[in-house]
Structure 1
């Protein structure tokens, strides 16, 4: 099995509650994810657990769902269809200096013959981390605009 594994973090000058509100609303990712990434809401609930989206990005498409929430601390997401399958999570950690550290950790299996073949010669983990820096920057811009 070939895996895509990465953990990418950034410090933000916003309280955990504000960041959690944005990260736990996956249908809302369409408001702040980078240009060129399409996010389509599939299902949305009142408590956000089970919310589902479909994402089209440069590496293909996938569907994911909120699996569990720990308010102001963690958002667990499962990828259940598309080019990757497995679990991911956001962690939100207040820092002593008043900032908040946000990390996105992913450990998923490449799904499908073509992704698996390409994974033999392409380091998808490094590509994911490179692209995810844009996602983290877009989160910062969105938090700044909505503050």
Structure 2
């Protein structure tokens, strides 16, 4: 019997967009539209809205990986959306934070999760999971910038 070692994941990625949080917030809070602007290698399926936003659920299925259920656990408009991740190989929390500045809005995505899967654990020895995550976030941030320009 092989023991699976838990692997903590703590990532933070950010971008500065040249617009106020009031313009960024509606795009990030409209989870039903993520599938229209998130990169295709991150398949997003909206499950259902919840009254007052908390409890809204969607699924992310990164290309080549298994699905992760995401649920909005709290929010503070227009500054933060907190998510809970519950996947077969990963569980944890993440949040979108918006920080206003003189040059625009810092859009920050932070994730704090634990992987309990042997395959992902082994992949971590040959590939940087942080680099894989940051690559995905660059695609999201690039498309967010385009979405805000429209």
Give the structure-1-normalised TM-score.
0.89
Are 1:44 and 2:49 counterparts? yes
Tell me the equivalent position of 1:3.
8
Tell me the equivalent position of 1:73.
79
Are 1:108 and 2:135 counterparts? no
Deviation at 1:28, TM superposition (A): 2.2
Q: Which structure 1 segments of 5+ residues have no match?
A: none
2:138 to 133, 139, 143: 133
Q: Which structure 2 segments of 5+ residues have no match?
A: 1-5
Are 1:53 and 2:53 counterparts? no
Are 1:16 and 2:24 counterparts? no
Please provide the CA RMSD for this pair: 1.5
Which whole-Å CA distance do the structure 2 matches of 1:73 and 1:15 have between them?
A: 11
Across the two proteins, how many residue pairs are aligned to each other? 144
**Alpha-carbon spacing, 1:115–1:142, altered in 2? closer, same or farther (3 Å):** same
Tell me the equivalent position of 1:85.
91
2:32 to 14, 19, 27: 27
The more displaced of 120-129 and 88-97 is 120-129
Which runs of structure 1 show a deviation greater than 4 angstroms over 4 or more consecutive aligned residues? none
Tell me the equivalent position of 1:96.
102
Deviation at 1:2, TM superposition (A): 0.5
